Amino acid sequence: MVMGELVQECEVVVIGSGPGGYAAAFRAADLGMDVTLVDTAEGPGGVCLFRGCIPSKTYLHLSELLHDAAGAKEMGISFGRPEIDIAGVRRWKQTVVEKLAGGLVQLAEQRGVQRLRGRAEFVSAGEIRIQGSDISGIRFKRAVIATGSRPIALPETRFEKGGRIMSSTAALALADIPGRLLVVGGGYVGLEIGMIYAALGSDIHLVEMGDRLLPGIDPDLVAPLARRLDKAFTAIHLNTRVEGVQARDAGVDVAFSGDGADAGGAFDRVLVAIGRAPNTRGLGLEHTRVKTDDRGFIIVDDRQRTDDENIFAVGDVTGGMMLAHKASREGKIAAEVMAGEPSAFDAAAIPAVVYTDPQIAYCGLTETAAARENRAVEVQRFPWKYSGRALTMGAGEGMTKMIVDSASQRILGVGIVGRGAEGLISEGVLAVEMGAVVQDVAFTIHPHPTLSETESETAEIFLGSALHVPPRKK
Ligand code: FAD
């Protein structure tokens, strides 16, 4: 030990305490390992808890409330004009985040997981240095890298604290309600945050480089949402690229090229939601045998092992679907593999949810991918206008679809657009994981009236007759 330095020994060190890191740490502790969890942030939770999933879903719940209150007029109930107390909204979000963060701290304590605050960097394949902590270093037997990802900025711009050009982090801090907000990027983050600000009263102008919103999701699932967004947003410009951004004291001037070239001008704020990059820089990976791909993501095998035998990696930093539940599953696998268990990441379906209103959720094979891969599949759709429960909620615009192997009738993929899709998709995930055939879902009694019946009725269509769908013409 060097004078003035305190270096600890531990069995497992986990760097980063987001959903991937804390899952790895908690599972490793449950399996009897001595674990230290290091993060630059004060509390565990990562991007998901402090500036991702939870803040965005808290605000989206409020925007849904506003939308429902406005829509209730048609159902015979009128509310007055909503008064929005932005400080109150921020406080409510903070209450939710703090409750969950406190819970994670307790769970770490109950498991005996040591938490350290500081920036970790490998100095060798068996030791990290920690900047900003009383413990200056840790010698470990095994390490898990779970350092996550950060938002990508537009070329020649930077995200500055308090600046008008915002990442999702700044947008979710909700500094104010801008008059004109430009959203750059038609992926789920841009749409979710755009919808929040639209509900709060901003004029949303969205530009997307591609020819449609939410590329990667089947167009028929996106269509009902696109119709809603056409009303909720002031303008949506597809095939449009941002060419220049000039921040001034009073606003931001933005120039576009492509279909929306004429739509440039001044905006009060700009949200840049064009993707995320892995946090691998400054980690000292050059002192290990860990390899990254050409975009900086850490390369792992199906057991979350890197090229360095004692170092694992999980979550966003490994690329793929950058979602909390995928990170969390990978964290558990890393811990189980360290404990000698035969675990591997072999999920048949990772669900994805877009929490807009209507929501979109899907898992497994998409119709688009099936066509691209020339797979022999049959696809059936159940429009929610035939669902009693959907109509009681004024949610008849929704749709449930299944992608099924033509020969075996095995369910390969499920897609849902509509209210509550976030919960409904789990039946689809289970069906794909269990190798269920359409009969399994069709013959399972679903409670009435529920939106879950849209799944059993979709399965019934494959069998030739669904109770609430008009029969096919003979
Ligand atoms: P992270 O959550 O990114 O955590 C990484 C942690 O590592 C951070 O706490 C960071 O401080 C720490 N760290 C980094 N470098 C170091 C270092 N050198 N030393 C010490 N600590 C370090 N996913 C969903 O599944 N559902 C959603 O609804 C959803 N909504 C989202 C909304 C937004 C706006 C955003 C931005 C993301 C959303 N995500 C959502 C994605 C989700 O947040 C991430 O997939 C998830 O947080 C990844 O977890 P992780 O453990 O890999 O890393």
What's the pTM? 0.96
CA distances from 194 to 47, 166, 183, 236, 260 (A): 19, 12, 7, 11, 18
Contact (CB, 8 A) for 37 and 114: yes
Query: Residue 294 C-alpha to ligand 1 middle, in angstroms?
Result: 21
> Which of 38, 53, 57, 152 gets mutated to test ligand 1 (max ligand atoms within 8 A of its CB)?
53
pLDDT at position 145 is: 99
pLDDT at position 5 is: 76
* Per-residue pLDDT tens digits for 378-435: 999 999 999 999 999 999 999 999 999 999 999 999 999 999 999 999 999 999 999 9
Query: Residue 278 C-alpha to ligand 1 middle, in angstroms?
Result: 10
Does 21 contact ligand 1 (Cβ within 6 A)? yes
Determine which residue's CA is closest to atom 3 belonging to ligand 1: 148
pLDDT at position 310 is: 96
| Closest alpha carbon to 379 in 352, 349, 409 | 409
Query: Residue 40 C-alpha to ligand 1 middle, in angstroms?
Result: 13
Determine which residue's CA is closest to atom 21 belonging to ligand 1: 39
Query: Residue 19 C-alpha to ligand 1 middle, in angstroms?
Result: 7
- Which residues are annotated as catalytic? 448
Write down the domain spans for the chain: 7-151+278-338, 165-274, 352-463
Question: Would you say the CATH fold of 352-463 matches that of 7-151+278-338?
Answer: no
Instruction: Write down the CATH number for the domain with range 7-151+278-338.
Output: 3.50.50.60
Q: Which CATH architecture has domain 352-463?
A: 2-Layer Sandwich (3.30)
pLDDT at position 227 is: 97
Does 61 contact ligand 1 (Cβ within 6 A)? no
Extended strands (E) in 201-293: 203-207, 235-237, 240-247, 252-258, 265-267, 269-272, 276-278
In which residue ranges of the chain is pLDDT below 50? Answer: 1-3
Does 272 contact ligand 1 (Cβ within 6 A)? no
pLDDT at position 3 is: 44
| Closest alpha carbon to 120 in 101, 138, 142 | 138
| Closest alpha carbon to 340 in 28, 21, 127, 20 | 28
pLDDT at position 262 is: 96
pLDDT at position 471 is: 87
Instruction: Write down the CATH number for the domain with range 165-274.
Output: 3.50.50.60
Determine which residue's CA is closest to atom 9 belonging to ligand 1: 46
Residue 470 exposed, middle or buried by CB count within 10 Å (0-12, 13-18, 19+) = exposed
